[in-house]
Amino acid sequence: MTKPYLIYTIFILLLSQHLSNAIKDTFSRISDSLFTNIQCVPHAYGDFNADKRVDILCVDESAKIMKIWLAQEKEPLFSLYKNISIGNEIVNIVPGDFTGDSVMDLLVTYKSDDYLKMSFFQGQKNSKYTNDLLPEKKINLELLDQPFVSDFNGDGKLDIMLSVVNDAPGFYFFDMNGTILKMDSFNIGSDIKLKKGFSHSITDVNNDYKQDLILTGENDQNKIIFNILVNNEKTNQYETFDSYSVPDDNLIYGQSLFADFDSDGHFEHLLPSCNSKDCSKPIIFIRKLNKWNEVPIDFGQYRFIPPEDSNKLWGNSISVKAGDYNLNGYLDLMIVLEDKKSQNSPKDKYAVLMKNIPSDIHNVSSTFNRTFKMDQHITSLFSYSNVVQASFFDLYDDGYLDILLVLEEKSQNSENIYRTIALKNDYYDDVYFVKVMVIPGLCNVARCPFKSLPYGLNYPGALVKIETTSSEFQRVVMYATQLSQSSYMALQLPYTIFGLGSTPNFVEHFTVGILDYNEKITGLSKEWHQIIPNSQLVISPYPRYNPYSWKMQLFITPSKNILITGIALGSTMVCLIIMIGLLQFREKKMDEKERKIESQRFHFDGL
């Protein structure tokens, strides 16, 4: 074969391999030997025992028993640690440090007659460096809605915003003994009427690295209003900064989501909706630059699950999860959709990934220039037609977002059971990321309960921004809020993963912002420079009042390029050794042949 034909053949082989990988399924089922059959519905994620592995907090099919599944290094990936009976129907679980001892506590919300109530489980370390929960404490408050949790006053402990029966919405906190108290000098104002059944959010609307509140309320006509509250350092109060209404009062709306969907360093408001009770026409709105934009999405034969058909265990409202599964720098969407054409009863339900791509519809009046497209190549997701819940989870701690699916099945007694399975992210392209986890910063290593930083201790409200340059020499800015929501099965992870695409450049600027309380509530931030890609960062803002002393731990996750380079180098070395060996063997044979010829040659000099 001549040289041009050889080059052409190699090119065709490489092209066919690239195309086959391009249409390859991105996810694959993790076997039961690796991922134990978890028979429950996840309600929250967090590192319960501070071992740098995120655990699962879930509820069984009776909705009255909370299960704690601990992540572990050996197979299987999770093991059951404890079952805790609540006795009532559980609707929400929030993990975090409520008492300020750097040990994870659990706040459980359950139904009680016509209202909601809470139980508090205070965490306590034992001699084996694991978390032992103290006995349950019933909280004598009747609630109208699920709690909204964050560090509202900047003291490093988690606080709670509650809508208590016969009282105005207010802020509460736990003391060191686990007793709940009300912040009498801290309120949201009597002019805001909160909307029941909708989650509230934390974000940064004015880019000052201070958390702002987005409260879902309603006006006198029961129409949804979103209220933006910012902290006033002079009065130490959250005060109304702005408010706006939904795009159309005649639509049915789901849970809001605030994130930076176009990677411009500013948050957008995503709002899923339906045109009718049967959700025959699903719509996603995104608000940017004070204007609502209907995102052009082709849902095909699928629709949102109608809220009236939803089950108590996996939520009763339209919910969307966001995560950059292909690490290209743009957040994708994970949605559970129902097949309108299904003849089964109930109708088939699938977890669908919507890829974030540039919009090819150029609308001069639109302020959002991207859209979401259903990824049909992920056939593994369409293998399960009984999905009721889907969420992202980094199972192998490698920066790639895997998927947890909850399947609704029938037992031998024809009762509904719920089983959680896992799909591993096998994305082909070698891309880069930065994984960030901000912890409360209430202790240093020597004084922390487990003699190490409390990894994964859920800390809502921390703000993280990165700035870098893409391979096309474009400026990239990404902004995120850690654990921006805490109710209605938000299922957010205690860390943030920023996808950098195929850009191996250093992250030029990396900034973390938190609230701090020192006589008054202020926003503090610190910036680091030249962060290595494919690294996992743990930020400990200790002491909180002094950003210059904040510590960053950096863990490197080797890129696939390193493995490929190592394999190529090793293969080259093996080939060279073989070639050298063959040449040496050939040289020895030729030397031996020459010696034989020389020995048989007639020497005239000897006559």
Across 1-5, 253-257, 345-349, the highest mean pLDDT is recorded for 253-257
537-to-98, 433, 436, 437 alpha-carbon distances in Å: 24, 11, 5, 6
> Do both 528 and 548 map to the same domain?
yes
Whether residue 15 lies inside any domain: the answer is: no
> Do both 479 and 349 map to the same domain?
no
> Do both 161 and 78 map to the same domain?
yes
What is the rounded average pLDDT of the residues 56-64? 93
Whether residue 4 lies inside any domain: the answer is: no
Inter-residue contact 408 to 418 (CB < 8 Å): yes
Of residues 394, 402, 264, the one with CA closest to residue 334: 402
pLDDT at 589 over 90: no
Inter-residue contact 525 to 512 (CB < 8 Å): yes
Q: What is the pLDDT of residue 240?
A: 86
Q: What is the pLDDT of residue 311?
A: 58
137-143 and 115-121 strand pairing: antiparallel
pLDDT at 14 over 50: no
CA distance 378 to 332: 14
What is the rounded average pLDDT of the residues 514-524? 77
Q: Note the pLDDT tens digit of each residue in 216-228.
A: 999 888 889 999 9
Q: What is the pLDDT of residue 238?
A: 84
Q: What is the pLDDT of residue 111?
A: 93
Cis upstream peptide for 346 (omega within 30°): yes
In one-letter notation, the amino acid at residue 579 is: M
Q: What is the pLDDT of residue 128?
A: 56
Inter-residue contact 94 to 66 (CB < 8 Å): no
DSSP string spanning 58-71? EE-TTSSEEEEEEE
CA distance 91 to 108: 8
Q: What is the pLDDT of residue 581?
A: 86
DSSP code at position 306: P
> Do both 319 and 456 map to the same domain?
no
Whether residue 583 lies inside any domain: the answer is: no
> Do both 488 and 524 map to the same domain?
yes
Q: 258: pLDDT confidence band, cut at 50, 70 and 90? A: very high
Q: Of 245 and 428, which is predicted with more confidence?
A: 245
Inter-residue contact 378 to 390 (CB < 8 Å): no
Q: 67: pLDDT confidence band, cut at 50, 70 and 90? A: very high
CA distance 469 to 485: 30
Q: Of 101 and 11, which is predicted with more confidence?
A: 101
Quote the pTM value. Answer: 0.87
Helix (H, G, I), strand (E, B) or coil at 394: coil
> Do both 410 and 470 map to the same domain?
no
Whether residue 20 lies inside any domain: the answer is: no
Structure tokens at 343: 């003849």
Whether residue 50 lies inside any domain: the answer is: yes
Q: 68: pLDDT confidence band, cut at 50, 70 and 90? A: very high
> Do both 280 and 395 map to the same domain?
yes
What is the rounded average pLDDT of the residues 343-358? 91
Whether residue 273 lies inside any domain: the answer is: yes
> Do both 412 and 479 map to the same domain?
no
> Do both 37 and 153 map to the same domain?
yes
The region of weakest confidence among 74-88, 325-339, 578-592 is: 578-592
Burial class (CB within 10 angstroms; exposed 0-12, middle 13-18, buried 19+) of 423? buried
Given 401, 425, 449, which residue is the final one in a domain? Answer: 425
Of residues 6, 12, 84, the one with CA closest to residue 48: 84
Structure tokens at 90: 């559980």
Which domain covers residue 474, as residue numbers? 432-556
DSSP string spanning 68-98? EEEE-SSSSSEEEEEEEE-SS-EEEEEEE-S
> Do both 408 and 507 map to the same domain?
no
CA distance 166 to 164: 6
In one-letter notation, the amino acid at residue 69 is: W
> Do both 447 and 493 map to the same domain?
yes
Q: Note the pLDDT tens digit of each residue in 269-319.
A: 999 999 888 888 999 999 999 999 999 999 999 999 887 765 566 666 789
pLDDT at 557 over 60: yes
> Do both 421 and 436 map to the same domain?
no
Q: What is the pLDDT of residue 293?
A: 94
Q: What is the CATH number of the domain that holds 323?
A: 2.130.10.10
pLDDT above 90 covers a percentage of the chain that reads: 49
For the chain, how many residues are written?
607
pLDDT at 560 over 90: no
Q: Note the pLDDT tens digit of each residue in 168-201.
A: 888 999 999 999 999 876 677 667 889 998 999 9
Inter-residue contact 440 to 156 (CB < 8 Å): yes
Q: Is the dihedral of CA 30, 16, 503, 362 positive or negative?
A: negative
Mean pLDDT, the chain, as a whole number? 86
Give the chain's domain count: 2
Q: What is the pLDDT of residue 19?
A: 44
Given 556, 576, 600, which residue is the final one in a domain? Answer: 556
Residue whose token pair is 């409390």: 454
Whether residue 542 lies inside any domain: the answer is: yes
CA distance 415 to 37: 18
Q: Note the pLDDT tens digit of each residue in 562-584.
A: 566 667 778 888 888 898 888 88
Whether residue 16 lies inside any domain: the answer is: no
535-540 and 432-438 strand pairing: parallel
DSSP lists the bridge partners of residue 132 as: 124
CA distance 232 to 214: 15
Across 54-58, 443-447, 519-523, the highest mean pLDDT is recorded for 54-58
The phi and psi torsions of 309 (rounded to 5 degrees) equal: -95, -5
Given 425, 445, 467, which residue is the final one in a domain? Answer: 425
Q: Is the dihedral of CA 230, 235, 236, 237 positive or negative?
A: negative
